[in-house]
Amino acid sequence: MSSTIEEQLAALEASGRLRGRRQLESPQGVHVTLDGRAVVNFSSNDYLGLANHPALRAAAHEAIDRWGVGAGSSRLVVGNTAVHDELEAEVASWLRRPAARLFGSGFAANTGVIPALVGAGDEVFSDELNHASIIDGCRLSRARVRVFGHRDVAHLEELLREPHTGRRLVVTESLFSMDGDRGDLEAITRLAHAHDALVLVDDAHAVGAFGAEGVGFAGADVDLVVGTFGKALGGYGAFIAGRRDAIDLMWNRARSLVFSTGLPPVVCAAAIAAIRLCRSSEGDAMRARLLQRVSEMGSDSQIAPVIAGDDRVVMRWTARLLEAGYFAQGIRPPTVPAGTARLRVSLSAAHSADDIAGFKRALTEARTE
């Protein structure tokens, strides 16, 4: 790994793994303009279609008029406003947890929260397919990282049974971001508590999208839950919710909170509007529509992976789908394990039945050409 920057870029290019980007020329949604082409979007995490929702836009306008744009400093210095406090109270009330704390993003939450909870001499147990931000949080913590097989509760138990001295934390996603499958949170929590471990669940893809009022999948037994406002909630930023002592510790120990500028008040105001929408009957209707689209797709969740295996094959599928007017991004290593390149098809409550039917036809053609 002593290659120069130029050599690294050339090697990425040669292996077909050089990352690029497209340009979105319309607001986020299911019918978008991407690089000048009108397409039906099957790649965003805007699962309810809130990113451009009138209620969020109105809340944001109002907050800009009241507060301006930036928070100006860490919340611990002079960047804390009533909107930040109100959003934390809203999250705690929504998820029926004693307390909640905001973070700049889900990535910042995981890299801040995990090192705040465990350190050198402790252990952290992590599902092998956990998100990059969890992996980095585990590494930053300097705790001993015990990786258990994907959703493998028996393996987790084997590791937990080993003798230990320090603190212990089990961390898992609820709905896995690249596979759309679910961990058995009840079994994991039971095991963890029987073996002196706290449980942290990353509910990034479930908050807003599943459960009564969109509370996600982390049940009351789970000690701490991380969620993001960047996906089903249509905005940006993130939170941790749970035991008040752990939440209070974050002010003192979570470096990505302490040493980082507070979220812009406008972003908090949009998140408050998103949560209120999620808790309303309109939110129920959105989630019912999302489930309907999931069943039309023949998938288990709104994340429907279509495995190609080969990196180049998946990029060809993406190109052919684009020609047919559909966008589904090919996902390659290191985002997913080598040999499992895939389309990560994501569904939205804003898709129509025709969008799904048309996409399925185009996908069949793209795969058989």
Ligand X SMILES: *Cc1c(COP(=O)(O)O)cnc(C)c1O
Which residues have a catalytic role annotated? 45, 131, 173, 177, 202, 205, 231
Which contacts qualify for 85-89: CB closer than 8 Å, 24 or more apart? 86/268, 86/272, 87/239, 87/268, 87/271, 87/272, 88/239
The answer to whether residue 230 forms part of the interface with ligand X (CB under 6 A) is yes
Helix, strand or coil for residue 304?
Answer: strand
The answer to whether residue 50 forms part of the interface with ligand X (CB under 6 A) is no
Which residue's entry shows tokens 């001993």?
144
The answer to whether residue 177 forms part of the interface with ligand X (CB under 6 A) is yes
**Which residue's Cβ has the minimum distance to ligand X?**
106
Among 46, 90, 173, 223, binds ligand X (CB under 6 A): 173
Where does this chain touch ligand X (CB under 6 A) — which range of 56-64, 94-102, 200-208, 325-333? Answer: 200-208
The answer to whether residue 327 forms part of the interface with ligand X (CB under 6 A) is no
Q: State in angstroms the smallest separation of the CB of 228 from ligand X.
A: 3
Q: How remote is the C-alpha of 218 from its chain's centroid? A: 14
The answer to whether residue 133 forms part of the interface with ligand X (CB under 6 A) is yes
Q: Which is nearer to ligand X, 238 or 322 (CB)?
A: 238
Q: Could you tell me if 175 and 206 are in contact, meaning their C-beta atoms sit under 8 angstroms apart?
A: yes
Q: Could you tell me if 235 and 305 are in contact, meaning their C-beta atoms sit under 8 angstroms apart?
A: no
> Phi and psi (nearest 5°) for 253?
-125, -20
The answer to whether residue 234 forms part of the interface with ligand X (CB under 6 A) is no
Q: State in angstroms the smallest separation of the CB of 111 from ligand X.
A: 10
Tell me the DSSP string of 216-253: -S--TT-SEEEEESSSTTSS--EEEEE-HHHHHHHHHH
Q: State in angstroms the smallest separation of the CB of 336 from ligand X.
A: 13
Q: Which is nearer to ligand X, 202 or 355 (CB)?
A: 202
Question: In whole angstroms, what is the distance from residue 124 CA to residue 169 CA?
Answer: 5
The answer to whether residue 228 forms part of the interface with ligand X (CB under 6 A) is yes
Q: State in angstroms the smallest separation of the CB of 173 from ligand X.
A: 5
- Residue 130: what residue type? N
Among 32, 56, 204, 331, binds ligand X (CB under 6 A): 204
Tokens in use for 215? Answer: 């509370």
Residues 90-119 that bind ligand X (CB under 6 A): 105-107, 110
Question: In whole angstroms, what is the distance from residue 155 CA to residue 132 CA?
Answer: 21
Q: Which is nearer to ligand X, 42 or 107 (CB)?
A: 107
Site for ligand X, rule CB under 6 A: 105-107, 110, 131, 133, 173, 177, 202, 204-205, 228, 230, 238
